Chain A
Amino acid sequence: MEPFTSHTGVGVPLRRSNVDTDQIIPAVYLKRVTRTGFEDGLFAAWRADDSFILNQEPFRGGSVLVAGPDFGTGSSREHAVWALMDYGFRVVLSSRFADIFRGNAGKQGLVAAQCEQSDIELLWKLLENEPGTEVTVDLTAKTVRAKDFSAAFQIDDYTRWRLLEGLDDIGLTLRNVDAIGEFEGRRPTWLPTTNPVTAG
């Protein structure tokens, strides 16, 4: 994972709450077996409508998505994060994220920055009044800035540290491989395995 310290890019106001992962990428786009190439599926149903924000300049080239509350609800599909990143988004701002989406984002280097809804509303107005306004998201300082607007955002400290350092979770966990082995030695023997059971 590439380290993330700060990003500046065009902000995209998405005035919707409950943007579920079926909207971010419909199930029919989940059939690829690769980790890339999901940009076509991003908001596929909405992008069929010419008036959708991402079909308008200068939002088409946006990289900071400013969304309503409860972003990323529903399915656990990490494809939602891949689709956003494949399209070019580096940050999503919302007042509330679904747990699994936020976790998936943190694994892939997409910053899910939690802001007050009042700040989201201010940003929406700013981005709508002055399309093309660039938004700077500074992960070191945990701030989001655009023109005169400035606000703090929340992100859990551990995810922030991993993003700043660009660390691979599996590599970190494998430092504890001895502890994992010891734990396995203590597990009750009656716990099930998936080894086929023979009749009898």
Chain B
Amino acid sequence: MGRTLAEKVWDAHLVRKGDGAEPDLIYIDLHLVHEVTSPQAFDGLRLAGRTLRRPDLTIATEDHNVPTIDVELPIADPVSRTQVDTLRRNCAEFGVRLHPMGDAEQGIVHVVGPQLGLTQPGMTVVCGDSHTSTHGAFGSIAFGIGTSEVEHVMATQTLPLKPFKTMAINVNGTLRPGVTSKDVILAVIAKIGTGGGQGYILEYRGDTIEAMSMEARMTVCNMSIEAGARAGMIAPDDTTFDYIEGRDHAPKGADWDAAVEYWRSLRTDDDATFDMEVDIDADALTPFVTWGTNPGQGLPLAERVPDPEDFGDDNAKVAAEKALAYMGLEPGTPLREIHVDTVFLGSCTNGRIEDLRAAAEVLKGRKVASDVRMLVVPGSMRVRAQAESEGLDKVFTAAGAEWRSAGCSMCLGMNPDQLKPGERSASTSNRNFEGRQGKGGRTHLVSPLVAAATAVRGTLSSPSDLD
């Protein structure tokens, strides 16, 4: 009986197979650390007199709290500053490599790992952050963990885990112009729901996925958690190998050949079976936006705000009513007529160079609407430097957008980049939860193309609306 990609990677990391109800003990190849979910874990190590087992498999960056302007100054918010300072002290004490604010490699943890070549096929990658699923785009098992698990990995480089079930998400067909991987994943979440993936590792398959760049694949895997799945994966192929080759931490010489030979084996066998399969027709997809307060509440941009009465299930109906009340929306309003105050381009979902290029292409020679503010926040300082070398920063600032330094920024508003109560955003980030981008803020999740077009028109729009 054949095995799925997820099962192959799992089996290759078994330190110990669990007996009966006992979980398996799984080895962790890479542990990514940031300032928010680590201080209590470092404290736990200290209290128990334990060491960090593998600092050489651990890397830290400052991302959640960091301001995206005046980054050369001390952080103004004393509580944020304390958290960042605590990370610096902890990394120094336990010997962890850290990319702090001001460093050329600082950025969002899920942008930093891949661009350094630290994320490779067939690995196990964890971080105290649910969007760790991003790294599954390389064919690794990558998932978010809580702080107790962060401490566990620090102390043992392993995690006790029950095997996941497997779900194939088959995406076939050709994406129309203006339709992106963000639209694909929003459509997947709308189809299976925010709880549909619970207990599963998703494997995205099919010719649509195969045709995607690595960055597009990362966007898809990033939002697996929004469908309830801890992890999403894509089988590695030449696109993957081309992306990794030559990066700082990529294998070199004979090691490269040995690695690629192994990586080519990381495909779901033809006779393997998934616990569940879902099919998505890529030909039929159009730009997708969310209207509610969870990422499953999304629709094609051409649709209207739904009527809660049309939801069959009572829970879905109540959830829709609450969502529309929070979002300040009336059933039947065309989504294209929803006016936004803010456009946020960035985050671990859509803060990479291709995302910035796509948005800049739309904004070139155009202006952000006078009553809209647009924040462009690169996912890392390396992305920022790359964008500047291509002149993208000039395109953004000429259009009237703000060009910022790297960090999580308005995706979750732990730094000063927040929505005010009642303000509405079109955001390329991953969560439209109540208050996510600032207390009382209202979020519509969109692709970078929709974000840019929306900035120009001031209402939710796709680039085709600009012609």
CA distance A194 to B23 in the complex (A): 28
How close is A190's CB to chain B, nearest CB, in angstroms?
A: 4
Question: Which B185-223 residues have a C-beta within 8 angstroms of A?
Answer: 194-195, 198-199
| Chain A residue at minimal CB-CB distance from B195 | A70
Whether A188 touches B258, Cβ cut-off 8 Å, given contacts A26-B439, A98-B228, A107-B148, is: yes
Question: Which B31-60 residues have a C-beta within 8 angstroms of A?
Answer: 36-37, 39-40, 43, 48, 50, 53, 55-59
> Which of chain A's residues have a CB closer than 8 A to the CB of B86?
33
CA distance A16 to B431 in the complex (A): 18
16 further contact pairs, Cβ within 8 A, besides A18-B294, A73-B194, A173-B152: A27-B64, A28-B414, A28-B439, A31-B65, A34-B39, A76-B128, A81-B146, A100-B130, A103-B145, A107-B148, A157-B20, A169-B152, A170-B152, A172-B160, A190-B256, A192-B250
How close is A83's CB to chain B, nearest CB, in angstroms?
A: 13
> Which of chain B's residues have a CB closer than 8 A to the CB of A70?
194-195, 228
**Which of A33, A81, A180 is B27 in contact with, Cβ under 8 Å?**
A180
CA distance A97 to B230 in the complex (A): 12
Check if B248 is an interface residue, CB within 8 A of chain A: yes
Q: Is the CB of B148 within 8 A of A78?
A: yes
Check if B338 is an interface residue, CB within 8 A of chain A: no
Q: Is the CB of B25 within 8 A of A193?
A: no
For A66-97 the 0/1 string (1 means CB < 8 A from B) is 00111001111111010000000000000011
Which of A27, A28, A81 has the most CB atoms of chain B within a 10 A radius of its CB? A27
Q: Is the CB of B160 within 8 A of A156?
A: no
How close is B363's CB to chain A, nearest CB, in angstroms?
A: 29
**Which of B15, B18, B434 is A179 in contact with, Cβ under 8 Å?**
B15
How close is B308's CB to chain A, nearest CB, in angstroms?
A: 13
> Which of chain A's residues have a CB closer than 8 A to the CB of B55?
194
Check if A174 is an interface residue, CB within 8 A of chain B: yes
> Which of chain A's residues have a CB closer than 8 A to the CB of B146?
76-78, 81, 100, 103-104, 107
How close is B112's CB to chain A, nearest CB, in angstroms?
A: 11
Which of A45, A96, A104, A173 has the most CB atoms of chain B within a 10 A radius of its CB? A173
For A11-30 the 0/1 string (1 means CB < 8 A from B) is 00001111010110011101
| Chain A residue at minimal CB-CB distance from B147 | A78
CA distance A26 to B255 in the complex (A): 45
Interface of B with A (CB < 8 Å)? 15-16, 18, 20-23, 25, 27, 29-30, 36-37, 39-40, 43, 48, 50, 53, 55-59, 64-65, 77, 79-80, 82-83, 86, 97, 117-118, 120, 123, 128-130, 132, 144-149, 151-152, 155-158, 160, 162, 194-195, 198-199, 225-226, 228, 230, 248-251, 255-256, 258-259, 262, 293-294, 315, 318-319, 322, 412-414, 431, 433-436, 439-440
Q: Is the CB of B37 within 8 A of A194?
A: no
> Which of chain B's residues have a CB closer than 8 A to the CB of A76?
37, 128-130, 132, 144-146
CA distance A33 to B81 in the complex (A): 11
> Which of chain B's residues have a CB closer than 8 A to the CB of A103?
145-146, 149
| Chain B residue at minimal CB-CB distance from A36 | B40
Interface of A with B (CB < 8 Å)? 15-18, 20, 22-23, 26-28, 30-35, 45, 68-70, 73-79, 81, 96-100, 103-104, 107-108, 156-158, 161, 169-170, 172-174, 176-177, 179-180, 183-184, 187-197
Q: Is the CB of A17 within 8 A of B79?
A: no
**22 A/B residue pairs, CB under 8 Å, sorted by A:** A15-B318, A20-B433, A22-B433, A27-B413, A28-B413, A33-B82, A45-B440, A74-B225, A76-B132, A76-B146, A77-B146, A78-B147, A79-B147, A97-B198, A99-B198, A156-B21, A169-B160, A170-B152, A176-B25, A187-B27, A194-B30, A194-B249
> Which of chain A's residues have a CB closer than 8 A to the CB of B118?
192, 194
| Chain A residue at minimal CB-CB distance from B90 | A33
Q: Is the CB of A23 within 8 A of B433?
A: yes
CA distance A30 to B357 in the complex (A): 33
Q: Is the CB of A96 within 8 A of B195?
A: yes
CA distance A107 to B149 in the complex (A): 8
CA distance A45 to B48 in the complex (A): 36
Whether A173 touches B36, Cβ cut-off 8 Å, given contacts A99-B228, A100-B145, A179-B15, is: no
CA distance A170 to B15 in the complex (A): 15
Q: Is the CB of A104 within 8 A of B117?
A: no
CA distance A176 to B53 in the complex (A): 14
| Chain B residue at minimal CB-CB distance from A31 | B79
> Which of chain A's residues have a CB closer than 8 A to the CB of B318?
15, 17
> Which of chain B's residues have a CB closer than 8 A to the CB of A30?
36, 64, 414
> Which of chain A's residues have a CB closer than 8 A to the CB of B48?
170
**Which of B21, B155, B294, B440 is A157 in contact with, Cβ under 8 Å?**
B21
Which of B21, B148, B256 has the most CB atoms of chain A within a 10 A radius of its CB? B148
